[in-house]
């Protein structure tokens, strides 16, 4: 079962905070979304990453890191 926030993303949500988020996270989230960026609570980010990794394993998809050139990897590090 997917967490409830996946439906919110499909509807266009650009961020998601949990009820117990710090006040400073709320301010950062509002600013990020106002600038056209996204902002997610750390717990939400963890679920998104786990879902992405699960899909990669299930589909046999390549990790995009493997597609980078040696120079691109160097810059990334």
pLDDT digits (tens, 9 = 90+) for 11-45: 888 998 988 999 999 999 999 999 999 999 888 88
**Dist CA 14 CA 30 (whole Å):** 10
Identify the top-confidence range among 2-6, 31-35, 39-43, 64-68. 31-35
Tally of structural domains, the chain: 1
**What is the value of pTM for the model shown?**
0.60
pLDDT at res. 1: 44
- Which domain range does residue 57 map to? 5-76
């Amino acid at each position: 079962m997917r967490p409830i926030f996946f439906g919110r993303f499909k509807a266009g949500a650009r961020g998601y905070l949990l009820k117990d988020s710090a006040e400073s996270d709320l301010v950062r989230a509002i600013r990020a979304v106002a600038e056209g960026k996204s902002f997610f609570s750390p717990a939400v980010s963890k679920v998104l990453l786990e879902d992405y990794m699960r899909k990669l394993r299930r589909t046999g998809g390549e990790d995009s890191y493997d597609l980078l050139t040696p120079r691109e990897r160097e810059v990334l590090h």
